[in-house]
């Protein structure tokens, strides 16, 4: 097998693409969405995950103030909304409305869930590690739900046409069936 050198600034791409998620935050009066490609489960019991959001985003102050957020897992049908939420700032208006997404009330947190997402995880922040321009946010999952046709018996079911989005870089994505799609 031939090998080639990988520049260190691109090394993360060797273990990512992970599933891209839409992180929602809110305090009951104001909310926002932002796509996050850097997310990972970190513990099973209690269930915990980590995200790495940029601090310059409009989402950050709400997340920092409320200490809670939702991880909404979109499928490929929501790619335009994911791209739009990444390109636009919440300072410019309501991303739910702008990108045709529906708010669904959460059971355990104030942030809204994305009704069109195939799975939603309600999270409470446990620890924040300052990384300068971004932060490693570790959170406990308080509640989770998923579309039963795509997640059953504790497993994703790809036999029913499920296509999850995986971020490659910039506006390049691939989907769980291997087809490569690109932003427009």
**What are the residue ranges spanned by the domains of the chain?**
8-146+158-182
Six token digits for residue 17: 């693409």
pLDDT at 182: 58
CA proximity to 101, closest of 119, 87, 80, 86: 80
The rounded distance, in Å, linking the Cα atoms of 10 and 12 is: 6
- 167-180, pLDDT tens digit by residue? 887 788 888 864 54
Q: Provide the pLDDT confidence category of residue 166 given band limits of 50, 70 and 90.
A: confident
Q: What is the average pLDDT value for the chain, to the nearest integer?
A: 88
Above pLDDT 70, what percent of the chain? Answer: 89
CA proximity to 23, closest of 74, 77, 75: 74
CA proximity to 72, closest of 114, 101, 111: 114
Structural contact between residues 162 and 84, judged by C-beta atoms closer than 8 angstroms: no
Q: Which CATH architecture has domain 8-146+158-182?
A: Roll (2.30)
| Average pLDDT value for residue range 91-118 | 96
Six token digits for residue 58: 């409009």
pLDDT at 85: 94
Among the residue ranges 114-118, 119-123, 171-175, the one predicted with the least confidence is 171-175
CA proximity to 43, closest of 154, 141, 155: 141
- The yes-or-no verdict on residue 76 having pLDDT over 90 is yes
The rounded distance, in Å, linking the Cα atoms of 63 and 70 is: 10
pLDDT at 174: 81
């Amino acid at each position: 097998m031939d090998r080639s050198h990988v520049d260190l600034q691109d090394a993360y791409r060797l273990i990512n693409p992970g599933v891209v998620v839409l992180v929602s935050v809110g305090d009951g009066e104001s909310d926002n969405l932002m796509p996050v490609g850097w997310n990972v489960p970190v513990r099973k019991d209690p269930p915990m995950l980590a995200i790495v959001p940029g601090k310059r985003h409009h989402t950050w102050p709400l997340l920092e103030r409320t200490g809670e957020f939702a991880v909404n897992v979109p499928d490929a049908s929501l790619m335009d909304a994911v791209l739009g939420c990444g390109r636009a700032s919440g300072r410019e208006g309501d991303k739910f409305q702008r990108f045709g997404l529906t708010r669904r009330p959460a059971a355990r947190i104030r942030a809204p869930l994305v009704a069109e997402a195939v799975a939603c995880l309600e999270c409470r922040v446990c620890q924040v590690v300052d990384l300068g321009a971004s932060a490693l946010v570790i959170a406990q999952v308080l509640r989770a739900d998923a579309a039963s046709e795509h997640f059953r018996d504790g497993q994703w079911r790809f036999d029913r046409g499920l296509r999850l989005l995986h971020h490659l870089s910039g506006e390049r994505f691939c989907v769980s069936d291997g087809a490569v799609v690109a932003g427009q």
